[in-house]
A and B are shown apart, each in its own frame.
Chain A
Amino acid sequence: MAYSDKVIDHYENPRNVGSFGKDEEGVATGMVGAPACGDVMKLQIKVGAGGVIEDARFKTYGCGSAIASSSLVTEWVKGKTLDEAASIRNTDIAQELALPPVKIHCSILAEDAIKAAIADYRTKHAGEAPADKKAAD
């Protein structure tokens, strides 16, 4: 099976690989896995003032499509609010990377990873005033 140029580009030059420090302010983590192929994906976001995602990191063990999907998502979420990032759909990822049908589950994994990271952030910061309100005070 041939990979698209965009998949190869993200695979050979993955963006935002790595992790944030455990105690860094505003960091949340989403971890997901795909049983069918054994892929594991960790996606972290760093949320700054105004509830905007300032930076993102990922670590993925899996095929080229899984690595490209997570690399792409870390690029896309930067500068987005949590709600905007939560609206990213796997179909957008699959379309951008021209994933074949058998690799659609890689884009689903990336969508689930960003959703899990956002959920983690919201759990950790439940009951707090929204970041944008705090910044305005």
Chain B
Amino acid sequence: MNVDFSRNHFDLLGLPLSYAVELPRLEQAYRALQGSVHPDRFAASPEAERRVAMQWAARANEAYRTLRHPVDRARYLLSLQGFDTGEESNTAMPPEFLMQQMQWREALDTARQAGEAAVLEALRGEIDAQRRSMLALLATALDGQRDYEAGCALVRKLRFLDKIEASIDDALADIEDAGQ
């Protein structure tokens, strides 16, 4: 058993190199791979072989985690194409998009302070609808048009939506805790 670290996540899990991923197939491939390298199977094996199995298990976990998340998967696919999504360095988002983020953040702050769970739920629904339409655009950009610049821009936008959704979930959890 050799660990070939040059194989990409898709190859490792026996999936075609595309943004569209059938989640049941990903799940199945991950379980099969994970089962074949499970430490229990190597309990009686020499030390070196056990270490290799551990490395495989770690690789399989990383591949699965990355490919399961729709934004991480896009970022990874873009990196394989030589495109950097610039999430750490690119701050020039379209003004109307940033204006929308400001409005959402304001609405979130107001609702959190007032403890209005229903308002937060509605806001989350609005953001999630946008997120879904952006994910559809991302699939078209990556698998259809192969417009990788557009793909990078969508990944950057989706990161904002993921962050604000996480903040809304935190606020909702706080309200629930306070109500108990």
Contacts and interface: CB of A to CB of B under 8 A. Distances in A.
Interface of A: 31-38, 40, 42, 59, 61, 105, 108-109, 112-113, 116
B102 A61 contact: yes
Interface in B81-117: 85-93, 95, 97-99, 101-102, 105-106, 109
B101 A40 contact: yes
Given A38-B159, A61-B105, A108-B91, A31 B164 contact: no
A35 B159 contact: yes
Q: Which of B93, B155, B164 has the most CB of A within 10 A?
A: B93
A20 to B, nearest CB: 15
B57 to A, nearest CB: 28
B95 A31 contact: yes
B159 A112 contact: no
B88 A40 contact: no
11 contacts: A31-B98, A32-B93, A32-B98, A35-B87, A35-B156, A37-B163, A38-B101, A40-B101, A105-B88, A105-B89, A113-B91
A135 B92 CA distance: 33
Chain B interface size, as a band, is 20 to 34
A73 B31 CA distance: 52
B95 A35 contact: no
Contacts, number: 61
Interface of B: 85-93, 95, 97-99, 101-102, 105-106, 109, 155-157, 159-160, 162-164, 167
B87 A40 contact: no
Contacts of B88: 34-36, 105
Contacts of A42: 98, 102
B28 to A, nearest CB: 32
A36 B105 CA distance: 16
B101 A61 contact: yes
A32 to B, nearest CB: 4
Contacts of A35: 85-88, 90, 93, 155-157, 159-160
A116 B156 CA distance: 19
10 residue pairs, one from A and one from B, having the closest CB atoms: A38-B163, A61-B105, A35-B156, A35-B159, A35-B87, A32-B91, A112-B91, A36-B87, A31-B98, A33-B93
